[in-house]
Amino acid sequence: MTNWDDLAAHRRGAEGRRIEALFEAEPDRAARRSTRACGMLLDWSKTALDDRAVALLLDLAAGVPARREAMFAGERVNETEERAALHTALRRPADAGPLPVDGRDVMPAIRETLQRMRRFADRVRGGGIAGQGGAYTDVVNIGIGGSDLGPAMAVRALSPYHDGPRVHFISNVDGADAHDTLRGLDPERTLVIVASKTFTTAETMTNAATVRDWMARVVSRPADQFAAVSSALDKTAEFGIDPARVFGFEDWVGGRYSVWGPIGLPVMLAIGPDRFDEFLAGGAAMDAHFRAAPLAGNMPVMLALVGIWHHQICRYPTRAVLPYEQRLLRLPAYLQQLEMESNGKRVAMDGSDLPRPSGPIVWGEPGTNGQHAFYQLIHQGTDVVPCEFMVGAAGHEPELAHHHELLVANCLAQSQALMRGRSLQDARAMMEKRGLTGAELERQARHRVFPGNRPSTTLVYPLLTPFTLGAIVALYEHRVFVEGVILGINSFDQWGVELGKELALELAPLLDGKPAEGQDGSTLRLAEAMAAMRRAVEG
Ligand code: F6P
């Protein structure tokens, strides 16, 4: 029997056992089944994990330390692209020693780029670098995927720290995105950052050209109001961006792991270089914890093991990320890319078919809004959705402390309700109190039953500071890595996004009415129908 079989057998053996019963059997369960790191507490006691399950899961993670050290050391852990995955180098503390990759210390270049970013950000924020109409009031970041989601998420998350220009994001090739973002902006006082690792991504290059045209109508030298973040310095030069305003990064920083370096420039412009350093320090603190803490007390490892248990053993197909923190509005979208682009793979590192499910579907929305939308299914639907709650002990608005109390109470109430549920007996008693009797009482009571025994984790932190945000993001990065190692997946490539991109290029002429060969009937019919609709719309 493998550990996987043992785990599955263990779960079958414990069928019918309730999470609440585990608390009765283990009086110190909440303390034993929780993990502290970087000032945060991750409670995973409201899951079905017991000693045996934890021991078996930890065995599965036995290979993690070696892979982890290989990653931190810059070995080529991204085997299909033959590269290191060294985003952790971007947040390495200033006093950390050299980090040789292929015989060359990568730290001097990282530090020099960070210094250049600092100088640039300070001068933009201070007005020393200005647009044709004066100091910049607005920054527009053009990028998509990892060149958008990280900074967009972080800028929003850290809004209490904003003391720089307003920052906007254009990502979608839908012209509505550029149009609506640019509306109301002054081209003479807008700085544009084109963020693209490859500088070939169709959406970003299309948006960049559109924004340049928008600016050129008013600004005599639009290129002077552009900066770029890219690994393709030849292409940024071709676009006409002054090399002094181009911030490069190496190909061993994956897009979805890149917010720590130049892709984080919009964050630095918004909150300033010192606060950005705190964000990096939070990530570095989580790195130090991940490397030093024993597996059983290791926050990313335990979060990963909970994930493996729910998806691989319990076969719950999705997991929900539910921040009770409105400013983490974009965190679920950010984590969707981080988790699903990293571990949504059907073959193992060696190319063989994965013998088990790939990483799970991740989704979510901040509480309390989600409560009034999809929590119905979470509580009473037939699918079990493990929930990952997160909430700060305090908010940034002391004058609105009563809001925060309600927020926290709601977060705790949801995880408790999921675990406890409501029995038929209690539902009947409720209906009786309302004066119902007989068949009507029975019918109404059944609708009010909550099965309960639904698992969740809760991450609590003092306050959503730049440091804490950095720690949370690094926590999830490492969680994804650990899950990938256990599944034997390469978490650092993303071949699954390629086919659609290629086909979009082939299909573009068809939509212009050009004949297309080799298309399927459905696609042809859709294109024809839309051509007719478009003619009607455009008159
Ligand atoms: O399409 C997926 C992807 O390659 C992501 O991995 C990446 O974050 C995004 O596109 C953007 O790529 P680039 O930064 O090269 O424009």
**Mutation choice for ligand 1 from 197, 199, 343, 499, CB with most ligand atoms inside 8 A:** 197
pLDDT at 504: 83
91/261 Cα distance (integer angstroms):
8
Phi-psi region of 452 (alpha: psi -120 to 50; beta: other; left: phi over 0): left
For residue range 438-483, what is the model confidence (pLDDT) as tens digits? 999 999 999 999 999 999 999 999 999 999 999 999 999 999 999 9
The percent of residues in the chain predicted with pLDDT above 90, rounded, is: 90
Per CATH, 3-73+279-413+465-495 and 94-278 having the same topology is answered yes
Residue 339 Cα, ligand 1 centroid: separation in angstroms?
Answer: 15
Q: Which atom of ligand 1 is nearest to the CA of 256?
A: 8
Ligand 1 atom 16, closest CA: 196
When pLDDT is averaged across residues 105-125 and rounded to a whole number, the result is: 97
Q: Which element (helix H / strand E) includes 348?
A: none
Return the higher-pLDDT residue of 514 and 319.
319
Partners of 37 in the β-ladder: 40
388 contacts 456 by C-beta, under 8 angstroms: yes
Measure 408 CA to ligand 1 centroid, in angstroms. 36
Tell me the Ramachandran region of residue 271: left when phi exceeds 0, alpha when psi lies from -120 to 50, beta otherwise: alpha
Q: In the prediction, which pLDDT does 500 show?
A: 87
Evaluate if residue 516 carries a pLDDT over 70.
no
Cα distances from 439 to residues 380, 425, 443, 451, in angstroms, run 22, 15, 6, 21
Residue of 142, 199, 201 best suited for mutating to test ligand 1, as the one with most atoms within 8 Å of CB: 201
70 Cα–ligand 1 center, Å: 24
Break the chain into its structural domains and give their ranges: 3-73+279-413+465-495, 94-278, 496-538
Give the H/E segment covering residue 390. Answer: strand 387-392
Token readout for 81 is 């692209």
pLDDT-based confidence at residue 179 (cuts at 50, 70, 90): very high
Residue nearest to atom 6 of ligand 1 (CA): 255
8 Å CB contact between 391 and 458: yes
Quick check: 345 pLDDT over 90?
Answer: yes
- How many angstroms separate the alpha carbon of residue 201 from the centre of ligand 1? 7
Whole-number Å distance, alpha carbon 68 to ligand 1 midpoint, is 24
> By alpha-carbon position, which residue is closest to atom 10 of ligand 1?
145
Q: Which residues are catalytic?
A: 341, 372, 501
User: How confident is the model at residue 204, as a pLDDT?
Assistant: 97
In this structure, which amino acid lies at residue 266?
Answer: P
Q: Rounded to an integer, what distance in angstroms lies between the CA atom of residue 367 and that of residue 326?
A: 7
Cα(507)–Cα(519) distance, integer angstroms:
9
The tokens of 460 are what?
Answer: 């609590």
Res 1: pLDDT: 63
Among 83, 343, 497, 505, the mutation site with the greatest number of ligand 1 atoms within 8 A of its Cβ is 497
Question: What's the pLDDT tens digit per position in 390-408?
Answer: 999 999 999 999 999 999 9
Best CATH choice for the domain 3-73+279-413+465-495 from the list 3.40.50.10490, 3.40.50.11540, 3.20.20.140, 3.40.50.970: 3.40.50.10490
pLDDT of residue 514: 72
Residue 90 to residues 234, 262, 295, 300, Cα–Cα distance (Å): 23, 9, 24, 19
Mean residue pLDDT of the chain comes to 96
CATH number among 3.40.640.10, 1.20.1560.10, 1.20.58.220, 3.40.50.10490, domain 94-278: 3.40.50.10490
Convert the pLDDT of each residue in 414-424 to its tens digit: 999 999 999 99
Residues whose beta carbon lies within 6 Å of some atom of ligand 1: 144-147, 196-198, 201, 204, 255-256, 341, 494, 497
How does pLDDT run across 236-259, given as a tens digit for each residue? 999 999 999 999 988 999 999 999
Residue 331 region, left (φ>0) first, then alpha (ψ -120 to 50), else beta? alpha
- pLDDT tops 70 at residue 29: yes
Q: Which atom of ligand 1 is nearest to the CA of 501?
A: 1
Residue 205 CA to ligand 1 centre (angstroms): 12
pLDDT at 515 over 70: no
Residue nearest to atom 3 of ligand 1 (CA): 145
